[in-house]
Chain A
Amino acid sequence: MATTAFPAPAHVPGYAGETGIWSWLTTVDHKRIGILYLYTALFFFMFGGLEAIVIRAQLGAPNQRLVSPEFYNQLFTMHGTTMIFLAIMPLSAAFFNFLIPLQIGARDVAFPRLNAFSYWVYLFGGIFITVPIFFAVAPDGGWFGYAPLTIKQYSQGVNIDFWVMGLQILGVSSLAAAFNFITTIINLRAPGMSLMRMPMFTWMAFIVQILLILAFPVITIALVFLLFDRFFGTNFYNTVGAGADPLLWQHLFWIFGHPEVYILILPAFGLVSEVLPAHSKKPLFGYPVMVYSGILIAVLGFGVWAHHMFAVGMGPIADTFFAMSTMLIAIPTGVKIFNWIATMAQGAIRLTTAMLFGISLVGLFTIGGISGIMHASPPADLQQTDTYFIVAHFHYVLFGGSIMGIFAGIYHYFPKVMGRMMDERLGLIHFWLTFIAMNLTFFPMHFAGMQGMPRRIYTFDAGQGWDVYNMMSTVGAMIFPIAMLIFIYNFFKSRKSGAIAGSNPWGAGTLEWTIPSPPPEYNFATIPTVTSRYPLWEGKEVDMESARANSVEGKTAADLGIVLPYNTIKPLIVAFGLVLMFCGLLTTQMLIYIGAAIMVGALYWWLLSPLEPEHH
């Protein structure tokens, strides 16, 4: 192994002339947009966590009335919606933005301004869908908003309107970002960076983008139908009045919804596939199989949607088909788990915070996988679906999987992003508190579910056999905020005064570790040439040359003659116009026209102005 150590600099270099709010509003730098995503998504993550805490407080003991049932329904709807669309997906997007160009040796994403647009749409959409909860008119149809409950006849308030439009807005953001990343990954890889040399995180990101562009249009249409039903009196979900099919929504939603599960988990898989090798000093075990299993999961992921619907009475043939396809998808997922374990085997493991989060993903996701198989069996699912057993299952997948993986990524990449190390002692406290809280909160839910507790109930009678489990879950949930406060303190303290990281503090092998931390705005002084999967570990002389050239600090883009895109406010204005249009649908028609005018006007202005100075 040829680990090349580059000396750590004495100070953290920053971007010259790149400070102040205006520079953040107009930035098109993928790294800064990644940071914006990170902060925003962490904020929404804590907000969604707060909602969960109120839910757990309400369920801590039987027959409590801390909040009204109406508000409770808003809380669990918004908890799910927030965590999925405003926390986990954008946290992944933060990593996509920051890492993809660095991992493939590119100076930016393919469409830098579109990238900024995605972020601003996400921010405005997030605000749009979150604000109603302060007025107790938040969406209340559950995160999968089953029609016909969500049509006007059964949900008369504006609650569902906010949900429908909020998700549409967020969909625009995700789709725009997905086209951008797909193009980036296909087209901006450095010379020698073949598909089978791409870092695993970029691979998983690529698969996620493809899932996004194929899955999001389906929910877009499902939501358009719902929007038309609610605003223009169409009949798509009008079951009682017009004979509509009550399962149409469920099919459309889950054709999107199941790939969405992989959209949530694969980025974390990718992050862990970077963290485990770096902290074990061993290449990822079975790289090609990891790639193929990821692709297989994505393909099969489009053929399993109806396993969310085993109780709706689809009949034995459909039940059997979807049971089999679901069990099949467990195989590539299992392979990933075993390959991760094999990656660590015989390695030199350092139990850093990042590594502990990474290892706990492997351990906790396994639990979620096993319970997943249990409800892949339709008859067994009839006792499990819509109970707390399911709640336990998907929290093991999404918290134990996605969130643990994302934290592993944050601890692993913080030095690259900020140029300083995070405090390991505080990190370990954060990890152990999170790990204990996670298991104490979600493991008892398995029991509550098998003892007959339906999900989404506002309260329960005493003597149902659920008191102890719920009390335990509530106690566990109260530990999360403590862990998060420690994390936030550590984050900001380390950003200010952590140890200087240097370009490659973990001795990792991939391309992003060849450049200074934080990376200069142009990323790579010279576009690297790549000959292996881990240029810093297994690279030939040409890799080392690129690495040496790119580790040089203190040069500006102008020094190197690198042309960078102009900063611009236009994407923000387009995003603002778009959201204004949706606001108009809820208030006055005038606003729709104003929003549309702003959007189209700014769009033309954007498209007709050059991205960057002309080359010479």
Chain B
Amino acid sequence: MTAAATHHYTTTGLDNRKIAIWAFIGSECMLFTSLISTYMIYKGRSVVGPFPHRPWTDPTTGQTLPPILDIPVTSASTFVLLMSSLFMVLALAAVQNKNLPKHTRGDRILGSSKLWLWATALAGATFLGFQAYEFTSFVHEGLTIKTNLFGSTFFTLTGFHGAHVTAGVLWLVTLLAIDYRRGLTPRDAMNVDLAALYWHFVDVIWIVIFTLIYLLQ
């Protein structure tokens, strides 16, 4: 995350890191494709419950377990994560336009990289909080990673996504630390841009996951 590479000659004129992050995102697509495909292959093939969308009666105890997914709660966390992408855009713009004069209160709010980075990071953390809540309540209701094929694929897929969000939040916090120490300037825009690309990618992946796991019955 140094600015040193920026003033070398490059063939395309783009920063090396920008090309690398796109290659990285391409690679990550295959990672999530593998995870999501496995989830889809195993969808509906669990031998025992609980199931995501329909109730299940345990033949040994006769107890009926309701469908385990709580779609309204996850919709809320999805909304928070989507909003974080908007905050990320604003944070990047704030860093890029750092040196522009700020006349109004609105300009100052829009131009505060700290504010928008905080907002993004907090939205990410909120999403993670929802996920932690969801995971614990599933475990309470009797679904662990060992229970059945649904449990294994669900926790692994969403867990992988959660780990990506966590890495993103750490990245944002690092940028914030730099911002507090010496202030982010347009010279750092590339660093924020990279984080933003990653963050948007993680968001987009969540939309796919949310659709396939929660909305598709």
Chain A interface (Cβ within 8 Å of chain B)?
110-111, 175, 178-180, 182-183, 186-189, 193, 213-218, 220-222, 224-225, 228, 232-236, 242-245, 248, 252, 255, 527, 604, 607-612, 614-615
Contact = CB atoms under 8 A, between A and B. Distances in A.
CB-based closest 3 A-B pairs: A217-B31, A221-B34, A234-B152
Given A218-B34, A245-B41, A187 B14 contact: yes
Interface of A is mostly: helix
Nearest to B1: A607
A607 B20 contact: no
A228 B151 CA distance: 12
Given A224-B156, A614-B4, 15 more contacts: A175-B27, A179-B23, A186-B11, A187-B11, A188-B10, A214-B26, A218-B30, A228-B145, A234-B146, A236-B149, A236-B152, A248-B38, A607-B1, A607-B2, A610-B4
Contacts of A236: 38, 149, 152-153, 156
Interface residues on B, range: 35 or more
A111 B18 CA distance: 12
A248 B41 contact: yes
Contact of B20 (A180, A228, A235): A180
B150 to A, nearest CB: 9
Interface of B is mostly: helix
Given A189-B11, A232-B146, A611 B156 contact: no
Interface in B19-64: 19-20, 23-24, 26-28, 30-31, 33-35, 38, 41-42, 45-47
Nearest to B36: A221
Contact of A213 (B27, B34, B152): B27
B40 to A, nearest CB: 12
B16 interface: yes
A559 B16 CA distance: 27
Given A111-B20, A213-B23, A235-B152, A186 B34 contact: no
Nearest to A190: B11
A106 B4 CA distance: 17
A244 B42 contact: yes
Nearest to B170: A600
Contact of B47 (A224, A228, A242): A242
A253 B45 CA distance: 21
A28 B19 CA distance: 21
Contacts of A244: 42, 149
A236 B45 CA distance: 11
A118 to B, nearest CB: 13
Contacts of B7: 615
Contact of A182 (B23, B28, B31, B155): B23
A399 to B, nearest CB: 29
A225 B156 contact: yes
Which of B1, B9, B46 counts the most A-chain CB atoms under 10 A from its CB? Answer: B9
Interface in B127-175: 145-146, 148-149, 151-153, 155-156, 174
B30 A214 contact: yes
A235 B154 CA distance: 11
A186 B23 CA distance: 11
Contacts of A228: 145, 152, 156
Contacts of B145: 228, 232-234
B30 A217 contact: yes
B131 to A, nearest CB: 18
Contact of A243 (B9, B38, B45, B174): B45
B71 interface: no
A243 B27 contact: no
Contacts of A215: 30
Interface in B155-203: 155-156, 174
B104 interface: no
Nearest to B147: A235
B87 to A, nearest CB: 24
B5 interface: yes
B12 interface: yes
A175 B24 CA distance: 9
A434 B152 CA distance: 49
Contacts of B174: 604
A236 B41 CA distance: 11
A50 B196 CA distance: 50
A213 B30 CA distance: 8
Nearest to B10: A187
